[in-house]
A and B are shown apart, each in its own frame.
Chain A
């Protein structure tokens, strides 16, 4: 609850007018009335314009879901604002929420009560972003009375991760779906030439190769390789977030890289007709089943926007259900600083799945300064951690698992081609 309160300006005008009149009477000097008359009129008008309404204010956002870097408008509306002449709002600074004007301070005359006082805001990092608490004050005509300032809490903005630039022209190693864009090892009704074989019952006439048929005296048809889709599992390591995030315009943290790369991979493979699934290894352990299409892509982005870093209390690498069928291409996005992820990756490699690891640790990441921890000690610990990480990388290389650093378009092309070549060879899988 709040109420209309007299402003200091009104109090000043009243005091000055009263003092001027009283002194004029005491001294019998009319010049003091000359000096005090403007204040007396100002005070009288201000006193008489006490608003009789009970206003209320509310904030509405034009958009509740945005991609990081996009902007929307927060509109402040005043109801029952008769008698309100000026409205001012002051917003605090929330992490990763940019405001325009930058200070978050706006104010103007309220000519029409239906008008809104707008403040532009833009979330600068994926995740749920709540604008900071605002203070709103209303002022009556002639600045005699003030309502507030009152606190206002804005609505949550679901911020979807921006898509990291990504494109790939490599074919998938083991497409095993129904209909897609990748050449499979199976012969079927595709467009990619596979061979020429004798005619069999059921072959289409337009597949007959007349040149070979005339030369051999028997009907021959052109066989093609089937074109199928592939399942892609994006495995995101959210066991920690290393480095400081500067938002969409600044330096990324490891989880920034991972989430944005996952969004880029998901969009690319969804667009090419593959079925994309997502597994987050973290406190919430989200899983999104395999699917394709725009709606599924939005589900993936929404899940990525809710990723939080941390280690679940019951983390056991052998209990993480990945739900990756044979032939599923697994892309692991990890900073490779946790042994649990190494165990998960090793399990996938043993199963014979085509897997690649994308290293998301920023190159210039430094340990955060913590109170009570000397900087040289923190640096030493970080160097040791990096050495352990190098050992992990060597272990991965020993298992034959390719590790690439995320660099945007073409990051996984070479690896996919190598996996495709490897898929042509006989291999033994383990379960």
Chain B
């Protein structure tokens, strides 16, 4: 059956938003190389075709890696639209993953995720402002080591949570 218009709009958003986030580095003064643009576009198209595939994580990580590699000391305001683009792609993929392409996206679900995306996005400007505020401050000893430990602990906790399985019954 033919996919609905809303589905196509979401797929376009999934496919092009990572590319937009990548191109934001040009605004920050460091354009992405052509091969990376092509790679992100291909991964984005694959993600749009299969919203639950690992292509989604791969393309977002690729964009983040370029922001880290291409822009050293790149605390630039262009990071905010880039974060918005990446989050929009993620939310669009979530909406697409609720069912097969024939599933019509209803208004309540759409607006629920718009609100959630907007509220989650607030973390980006907050972190950005915090980073700008502490940029000129001397870094405390072991700050990055503590950060690394915190990241590892968070990953460990996430792994434990993801490994949980609760068996429940289904009534036929």
Contact = CB atoms under 8 A, between A and B. Distances in A.
A307 B79 CA distance: 70
Contact of A30 (B75, B120, B158): B75
B1 A103 contact: yes
A16 B100 contact: no
Given A16-B60, A39-B87, A8 B97 contact: yes
Contacts of A150: 170
Contact of B68 (A16, A32, A47): A32
Contacts of B74: 29, 31
A15 interface: yes
B23 interface: no
Given A25-B144, A35-B83, A147 B93 contact: no
B83 A38 contact: yes
For chain A, which range describes its interface: under 10, 10 to 19, 20 to 34, or 35 or more residues?
Answer: 35 or more
Contacts of A17: 154
A11 B51 CA distance: 12
A33 B162 contact: no
Contacts of B109: 86, 108-109
B72 A27 contact: yes
Contacts of A139: 98
Interface in B98-115: 98-100, 102-104, 106, 108-109, 112
Interface stretch (A48-56, A123-131, A328-336): A48-56
Interface residue range, chain B: 35 or more
Interface in B154-169: 154-155, 157-158, 161-162, 164-169
A86 B83 contact: no
A35 B65 contact: no
A30 B76 CA distance: 10
Contacts of A142: 116
Contacts of A1: 167-170
A50 B161 contact: yes
A28 interface: yes
A12 B56 contact: yes
A423 to B, nearest CB: 59
A161 interface: no
B128 A8 contact: no
B53 to A, nearest CB: 7
Contacts of B94: 9, 143
A39 B90 contact: yes
Contacts of A8: 51-54, 56, 97
Return the 4 tightest CB-CB contacts between A and B, nearest first.
A54-B168, A30-B131, A21-B151, A8-B52
Given A30-B131, A36-B64, 10 more contacts: A5-B165, A8-B52, A8-B54, A15-B57, A23-B64, A37-B127, A38-B83, A43-B158, A52-B166, A148-B170
Interface of B: 1, 21, 51-54, 56-57, 60-61, 63-65, 67-69, 71-76, 79-80, 82-83, 86-87, 90, 93-94, 97-100, 102-104, 106, 108-109, 112, 116, 120-121, 123-124, 126-128, 131, 135, 144, 147-148, 150-151, 154-155, 157-158, 161-162, 164-172
7 contacts: A2-B170, A12-B56, A32-B67, A54-B169, A86-B109, A88-B99, A143-B97
